[in-house]
Structure 1
Amino acid sequence: MNILFKVAGKLRYWYWQISARMLARVHGVVLGRGCKFYGMPIFSIAKDSKIIIGDRVVFCSDSRFTALGVNHPVILRTLQPGAVLMIGDDCGLSGTSICSAKYVSIGKRALLGANVSIFDTDFHAKASDNRRYCKDSAKIAVKPVEISDDVFIGANSIIAKGVSIAANSIVGAGAVVVRDIAQSKIYAGNPAKEVGNVE
């Protein structure tokens, strides 16, 4: 019986590696070398936009392969023409949602804990008139998000539009980040505030 489970596990693993790469190619995602998939991610790319993924990035979309489990698969999505979503080499994503209407950049070796959400847009217009159905991008606030190398973002955190997180910083689990974070700082809470330094 153990042999059957091992064989099934290997078949599932290789199915994910092949299928996820094909899915990325079909959607026009630029995928680096040596990326690994545990479960199937969701890719969605707007016309004339780009998703660029570096080498050896690990995508965990299946709760069996991460300690906390994930609420949903990894979701990478561009929302408007010209949008860019970039992920650097050696990053790890577990059930992460990233939406780029203009520009979202994740540096090298970033770790994004279970169910982190990152977005550079408010998704809806500020004015209440027709807010739900408004598709006019000029009425929807958008500001780029930049996350530098070696950043660790704890589970269930939210990184909102316009935020820059400098290298080697840590965001505590469940934090809501609405302002920039300086290098080697630890932020936590809602809204996130500085609580320490990375030694």
Structure 2
Amino acid sequence: MSPIYFIRKIYRGLRFLYYKLSRGYSWLISCFKFYLNGVDFQRDFVGYGIPILDINMKGKFSIGKKFWFNGGKYHAMGGRQQQCYFVVAAGGELTIGNNVGVTSVAIICHNNISIGDNVKIGINTVIYDTDFHSLYADMRNSIPERLDGVKTKPVVIKEGAFIGGHTTILKGVTIGKNSIVGAGSVVFQSIPDEQIWAGNPAVYIRDTSPYYQPAFKTA
């Protein structure tokens, strides 16, 4: 065998070792950051990469069991691999259920964002429950900028939903149980249960039922 083969084997071994060590390191640092930010979390989470957190002392952030997140340069190799961002403003409440997986997301909560159990959210998805700026030019352009007219509305992602990568979910949206949002979509209206939506703006494509296959066949 050629020397390049052995070099590649060593490289692959070092890379494997890095990922094994990174998991433990990410978990430890993430625990510390969750604790400092007052996050109500379970210690059975799996993290690759260190999340960015900015949780106001008058905000709430809770995470259920078996949370899984990926983020950063080496742990989310799907393009635009940023770290995960979790931001909760004063009075905001962000709730993540059990068995939720996310990759390089940015979730910005000024009002209320609720993510149900068994939800999967693809790379570079952003979820905003606020407009950030006023819709009125005089307020936006005032110095300092006036934020008293900024609108916020809750976002709800129900159990079993799947959000494709690079999706934008805006304020006031509910995504139904087991529904699917296609990659790259912009969602500004609610999606019923068991439907597939995609596009900019996201529109109805079809029901999920033709794709449903039971996990176990019954007699």
What are the residue-to-residue correspondences of 1:42-57 with 2, within 5 Å?
Answer: 42-57=52-67
Residues in 2 aligned to 1:113 and 1:131: alpha-carbon distance in whole angstroms = 32
Residues in 1 aligned to 2:81 and 2:140: alpha-carbon distance in whole angstroms = 28
* 2:48 and 2:75 in contact (8 A); partners too: yes
In the superposition, the TM-score normalised over structure 1's length comes to 0.92
3-state secondary structure, aligned to 1:29: coil
Report percent identity of matched pairs. 32
Deviations 1:128-182 (A, max 9, x none): 124164353x310101000100000001001100001110000000111111100
Structure 2 gap ranges (5+): 1-9, 210-219
* 2:23 and 2:46 in contact (8 A); partners too: no
Task: State yes or no: 1:164 paired with 2:177.
Answer: no
Task: State yes or no: 1:109 paired with 2:118.
Answer: yes
* 1:62 and 1:69 in contact (8 A); partners too: no
Residues in 1 aligned to 2:17 and 2:52: alpha-carbon distance in whole angstroms = 26
* 2:139 and 2:146 in contact (8 A); partners too: no
Task: State yes or no: 1:99 paired with 2:108.
Answer: yes
In the superposition, the TM-score normalised over structure 2's length comes to 0.84
Deviations 1:26-55 (A, max 9, x none): 111111231111001111111211011111
Read off the aligned partner of 2:156 and give its amino acid letter: E
Aligned partner of 2:68 among 46, 58, 63: 58
1:71 maps to which residue?
81
1:181 maps to which residue?
191
* 2:196 and 2:206 in contact (8 A); partners too: yes
Aligned residues: 197
Task: State yes or no: 1:19 paired with 2:53.
Answer: no
What are the residue-to-residue correspondences of 1:146-161 with 2, within 5 Å?
Answer: 146-161=156-171
Residues in 1 aligned to 2:116 and 2:138: alpha-carbon distance in whole angstroms = 38
3-state secondary structure, aligned to 1:24: helix
Read off the aligned partner of 2:92 and give its amino acid letter: A
